[in-house]
Amino acid sequence: MVDKADFQAFLDGISDCFITHDFEPWRSRIILPFSLVTSVGPIVLTTEEALRENFELYLQAVDAMKLDQVVRVPISFEDCVDGTWIGTYETNLLSGGVRATDPYISSALLIPYPDGLKMTSILNARGHHYWTGLSP
């Protein structure tokens, strides 16, 4: 059985890895194929190489905005009864304790595993192109 504490641990894990520029904590929480639904349309990453390339583009945005903290705040955590969960959260990107951009809300489709929650997709992901200007 998973609970909100598991969801918060998941959110902390997918936040800290961008500040530390460490791909492995991100990779350990993703199930391939992984889909990101953004304002410019869906992106489906089918290989670890594609996932790593996408992560690196987000790191460019982290560096460009001089982020030193990513804070994700849980809003809801819903049991879908089929073994999956939908977690909705607000993302805050901070530089020097100040928001670098407006917060935004996303939802993730999550599956519990013995080593923690893993996600298969994010709805309303803020694409790296939003900050970097690079095409997705």
Can you give the pTM of this predicted structure?
0.89
Which pLDDT does position 50 carry in this prediction? 96
Which pLDDT does position 10 carry in this prediction? 98
Which pLDDT does position 83 carry in this prediction? 96
Which pLDDT does position 129 carry in this prediction? 46
Residue 123 CB partners (closer than 8 Å, separation 6+): 37, 106, 107, 108, 109
Which pLDDT does position 125 carry in this prediction? 64
pLDDT < 70 stretches in the chain: 125-136
- Domains annotated on the chain, with CATH: 4-126 (3.10.450.50)
Cα–Cα nearest to 41, from 123, 105, 104:
123
- β-strand partners of 118: 111
